């Protein structure tokens, strides 16, 4: 069922720097739900529907990522909806790319809120439909909303920090391409299972003229083995599932969309018992990822991503210096 009140959950985006220049402080007000600093009392969890979805809709097309969630066998599963190349957002982005916009941040945070409020949930699983897990920030939306880019980045980083320190085991089912901020979202999860016959994992900042923020850099340093870090961040090297298994970034590589989903659920069931003591898991992750969480949550980030204008192919049109 659709959540009619989704708009009321999010304050208005604060204004920010234009998309052509480096984003400096990222102090904009957050769209995201509060970070997990206090668990919902289990005895007062709200009634939970078997499956619900979030979308802000739109007259000429969807205006953001749609998410649905369900709870079964102790697994709280969140699905990023959309698998058709013909369905587009009102500004032109293909829905199937599951790109990150303000609506996506709100929807994912709302789903995490429900996971915390579900006593039977022992683990959280995130997956996409179709060919994409997530293709990162929605660059077309950003081109049309340059003054809101810094707010979107700040809210996304708070979401990444929340996932990184989430008080339950988390599993990302990488059903397809997993790039840029979508790759960072996948890395924020505890475990990953990736489809072996479809999908690349990479962050293309160097190719499109973006500089990763301190928080995003610390996240990738925390989750990637040292030999990979320069190749991934500095050179934008691309990886497929089998390579990532060998490097320890992905737990399993599985052929087929149905099969990778099944394997991800198996893994979520396997780690589920470790979600019994939520406070303990939160405390362990807070210490383990202290540097990355602090950098992602910092109101004074000391510099943000250097968003610049792009040509029709998505390449930076900023002259090399």
Q: What is the pLDDT of residues 217-227, one digit of tens each?
A: 999 999 999 99
Average pLDDT of the residues of the chain: 79
Residue 139, token pair as written in the block: 């660059």
How is residue 130 annotated by DSSP?
T
pLDDT one-digit tens code per residue, 160-210: 999 999 999 999 999 999 999 999 999 999 999 999 999 999 999 999 888
CA distance 251 to 16: 39
Q: Is the separation of the CB atoms in 201 and 238 below 8 Å? A: yes
Assess whether pLDDT exceeds 80 at residue 319. no
Contact 159, 182 (CB under 8 A): no
What domains are defined for the chain? 6-33+48-297 (3.90.226.10)
CB of 122 closer than 8 Å to CB of 168: yes
pLDDT, tens digit, 9 for 90 and up, residues 84-129: 888 999 899 999 999 999 999 999 999 999 999 999 999 999 999 9
Buried/exposed 154-165: b ≥16 CB within 10 Å, e otherwise:
bbbbbbbbbbbb
Q: What is the mean pLDDT of residues 288-313?
A: 70
Nearest to 201 by CA among 239, 244, 251: 239
Angle at CA of residue 306, ends 304 and 312, nearest 5°: 145
Q: What is the pLDDT of residue 184?
A: 98
231 three-state secondary structure: helix
pLDDT for residue 24: 29
Whole-number pLDDT of residue 304:
53
Kindly report the backbone phi and psi dihedral angles of residue 174, in degrees, each rounded to the nearest multiple of 5, phi listed first: -90, 90
**CB-CB neighbours of 320 under 10 Å:** 5
Tens of pLDDT, residue by residue over 11-58, are: 222 223 333 232 322 222 222 333 333 333 332 222 222 333 333 333
CB 144 within 8 A of CB 100: no
Six token digits for residue 306: 């250097």
Closest by Cα among 155, 182, 159, 168 to 285: 168
Question: Given a cut of 70, is residue 254 above it in pLDDT?
Answer: yes
pLDDT at residue 63 is higher than 70: no
- The rounded percent of the chain whose pLDDT value lies above 70 is 73
- Report the DSSP pairing between strands 191-195 and 67-72: unpaired
pLDDT of residue 258: 96
Cross-sheet strand order for the sheet of 201-202: 132-134, 177-179, 201-202
Cα-trace Rg, the chain:
18
Considering only 16-25, 143-152, 184-193, 278-287, which range has the smallest mean pLDDT? Answer: 16-25
**3-class secondary structure, 29:** coil
**Coil, helix or strand for 100?**
strand
For residue 139, report the phi and psi dihedrals to the nearest 5 degrees.
Answer: -70, -30
CB count in 10 Å sphere of residue 208: 19
Distance of CA 237 to the CA centre of its chain: 20
Edge-first strand listing for the sheet containing 75-80: 51-54, 67-72, 75-80, 123-128, 170-174, 191-195, 252-254
Question: Is the CB of residue 316 less than 8 Å from the CB of residue 28?
Answer: no
Give dist(CA 266, CA 268) in Å, integer: 5
Task: Check residue 30 and give its pLDDT.
Answer: 29
């Amino acid at each position: 069922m659709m959540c009619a009140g989704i708009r009321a959950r999010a304050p208005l985006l604060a204004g920010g720097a234009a998309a052509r220049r480096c984003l400096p402080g990222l102090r904009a007000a957050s769209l995201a739900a509060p970070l997990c600093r206090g668990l919902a009392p289990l005895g007062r969890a709200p009634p939970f529907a078997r499956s619900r979805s979030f979308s802000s809709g739109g007259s000429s097309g969807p205006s953001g990522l749609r998410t649905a969630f369900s709870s079964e066998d102790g697994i709280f599963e969140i699905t990023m909806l959309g698998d058709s190349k013909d369905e587009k957002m009102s500004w032109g982005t293909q829905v199937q790319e599951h790109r990150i916009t303000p609506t996506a941040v709100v929807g994912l945070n709302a789903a995490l809120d429900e996971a915390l409020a579900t006593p039977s949930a022992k683990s959280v699983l995130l997956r996409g439909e179709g060919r994409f897990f997530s293709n990162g920030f929605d660059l077309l939306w950003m081109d049309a909303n340059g003054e809101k880019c810094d707010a979107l980045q700040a809210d996304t980083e708070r979401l990444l920090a929340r996932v990184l320190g989430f008080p339950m085991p988390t599993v990302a089912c990488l059903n397809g391409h997993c790039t840029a901020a979508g790759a960072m979202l996948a890395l924020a999860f505890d475990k990953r299972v990736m489809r072996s016959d479809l999908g690349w994992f990479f962050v293309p900042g160097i190719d499109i003229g973006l500089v990763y923020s301190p928080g995003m850099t610390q996240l990738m340093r925390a989750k990637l083995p040292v030999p990979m870090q320069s190749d991934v961040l500095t050179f934008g090297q691309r990886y497929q599932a089998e390579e990532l298994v060998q490097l320890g970034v992905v737990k399993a590589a599985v052929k087929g969309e149905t099969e990778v989903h099944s394997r991800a659920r198996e893994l979520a069931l396997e780690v589920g018992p470790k979600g019994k003591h939520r406070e303990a898991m939160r405390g362990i992750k807070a210490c383990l990822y202290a540097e990355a969480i602090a950098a992602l949550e910092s109101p004074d980030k000391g510099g943000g991503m250097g968003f610049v204008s792009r040509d029709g192919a998505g390449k930076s049109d900023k002259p090399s210096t």
